[in-house]
Chains A and B, each alone.
Chain A
């Protein structure tokens, strides 16, 4: 039976009173990731906002075992956990590596790529707030073009983001999916599905950041929905090479068109300096990607 707000377990693995900003999408996503795994995990986390969510010694705000690890090492740390568990004959736990876009697309990509190449049996979740937000918003390989950040303060970022989900697909892993904190039930189902699959599983979760993107923190969920409605985020999964759109992206593909990208951009202060040229280039990039997904999805 598909999960909904009524039947979803009330058990929480994330405790109130933690250090995340009000309206943090990571916090929202993490709640449901842990629910889908029923807390039967060992989590490994690099330097990131999640480290801060987890608290400061000697108190933590999660009720799951967790190993903190240096920034570049998430994929390797997870490999070590899997190897240790295998060596000791311990079964039944999911090794969950969860890192930000910085720790995934940039400094952590080597270790992640290698872990996938080795067919490491773990679940890697990238929560993407499109910048190094923990250190005050510097650009990452995931930051959209036109976005102001600490290290793109005047001209805005000038390059397109890395398509990390496609990069992971190219590793031939059994499961790749995209998700979004604004669609927690879709995220929950994907994590639940991933849990049961053996091998390297990768989920790219989009998590808007109120202070980093400059929008009021009560808009976190609506910004996330706009991202999907305008095609900035496409919700899909690829299971053993078979592509399918999910949730709102599937609905849009069947029934409607994408909303103009502009509607998404105007809501966020980080795009206040974006030029018409950049908007147009971005719009074309989004549409090309959307069309590619429609082609892959086939007849709907």
Chain B
């Protein structure tokens, strides 16, 4: 079965998550949010959300509590760096 069936005559690409695969497999540490320190968790309402703002990969969601998509989180650690409440720790993968 050849590629002709895709019917493209030029390089036309369509959007999809995970273009580079499961980028979660890249990381050697992952973020863990401490609900005792996280401002959003403590206040139980929309607040702060700086980890969401600064995530280069848009894997953080503005939910209560905050969730991070571990399939795609690259473990860059920026969220841990900028959290004003020191609520995020980067934990080494086993």
Contacts and interface: CB of A to CB of B under 8 A. Distances in A.
Interface of A: 5-6, 8, 10, 12, 14-20, 22-25, 27-28, 31, 54-63, 184-185, 216-222
The dominant DSSP class at the B interface is loop
Contacts of B23: 16-18
Contact of B53 (A27, A61, A184): A184
Contacts of A221: 54, 78, 81-82
A217 B77 contact: yes
B26 A22 contact: yes
- Which 10 residue pairs of A and B lie closest in terms of their CB atoms, listed nearest first? A218-B77, A17-B18, A16-B72, A22-B76, A23-B76, A27-B56, A22-B74, A55-B19, A5-B49, A60-B13
Given A59-B13, A221-B81, A18 B54 contact: no
A60 B62 contact: no
Nearest to B21: A17
B76 A55 contact: no
A18 B75 contact: no
Contacts of A25: 56
B71 interface: yes
Contact of B49 (A6, A24, A55): A6
Nearest to B10: A57
A16 B18 contact: yes
A14 B14 contact: no
B8 interface: yes
A61 B27 contact: no
B15 interface: yes
Contacts of A23: 56, 74, 76-78
A178 to B, nearest CB: 19
Given A24-B56, A62-B15, A5 B50 contact: yes
Contacts of B19: 15, 17-19, 55-56, 59-61
Contacts of B52: 5
Interface string B26-53: 1100000000000000000011111011
B58 A16 contact: yes
A217 B77 CA distance: 7
